[in-house]
Amino acid sequence: MPTPNLNALQFLQSRRSRPAKTLGTPVPDRAALQPLLTAAARTPDHGKLEPWRFIVIEAPAMARLADVVQQRGEALGLAPEQIAKGRTQFDQGQLAVVVVEVQKPSEKIPPIEQSYSAGAVCLSLLNAALASGWGANWLSGWPSHDRGFMVDALGLAEHESIAGIIHIGTETSAPPERPRPNVQEITTWLSD
């Protein structure tokens, strides 16, 4: 019989993201963020390619990124409401980690597996932050998918993209619980 880690299992079964708009200060400093990034980097990575990296956005950089979102939204002809929604996470943010997907050439590891690994890093970072007592939220939104934002705001290369933006801070209010999937309805068992 395996030896269970019941505390870890309980955490995973009850974990809950905290809306970015409810995250305030204090936020983890660089020393407190390091173990979270270390935990996130211990993610499934077929072929040991490390097809991801981190960009930490500290509070002073948030206003600049919000302005880039504004400029990109206007250049794309987006509606003012859509632009405002896109910049909100930067207007309100105090600390965030961009998980950058870095596609690497490989004969063995297809691009989709590298994308999955980058997504796993996002979830691992989110869970590491929550397990450490911080509030955290994984966001994306149209700026995360806009090549101009990726280049202008973050200096990403052509083979890089944003897998997710993980906001981390002190929770100021707890959201209500939401309905969860019925596991019995979404599970198929194959016995032969």
- The answer to whether 170 and 155 have CB atoms below 8 angstroms apart is no
Q: 167: annotated binding-site residue? A: no
Q: 138: annotated binding-site residue? A: yes
Q: 178: annotated binding-site residue? A: no
Q: 139: annotated binding-site residue? A: yes
Q: 159: annotated binding-site residue? A: no
- Cβ neighbours of residue 24 closer than 8 Å, sequence gap 6 or more: 94, 169, 170, 172
Strands (E) in the chain, as ranges, are 23-24, 52-58, 95-102, 135-139, 160-171
Q: 134: annotated binding-site residue? A: no
- Per residue, the 3-state secondary structure of 75-125, as one string, reads HHCCCHHHHHHHHHHHHHCCEEEEEEEECCCCCCCCHHHHHHHHHHHHHHH
Q: Classify residue 175 by its DSSP letter.
A: P
CA 142, CA 91: separation in Å to the nearest integer? 15
Q: 132: annotated binding-site residue? A: no
Q: 161: annotated binding-site residue? A: no
What is the phi/psi pair of residue 154, to 5°? Answer: -120, -10
- The answer to whether 101 and 51 have CB atoms below 8 angstroms apart is yes
Known binding residues: 15-17, 42, 46, 138-140
- Binding site as annotated, residues for FMN: 15-17, 42, 46, 138-140
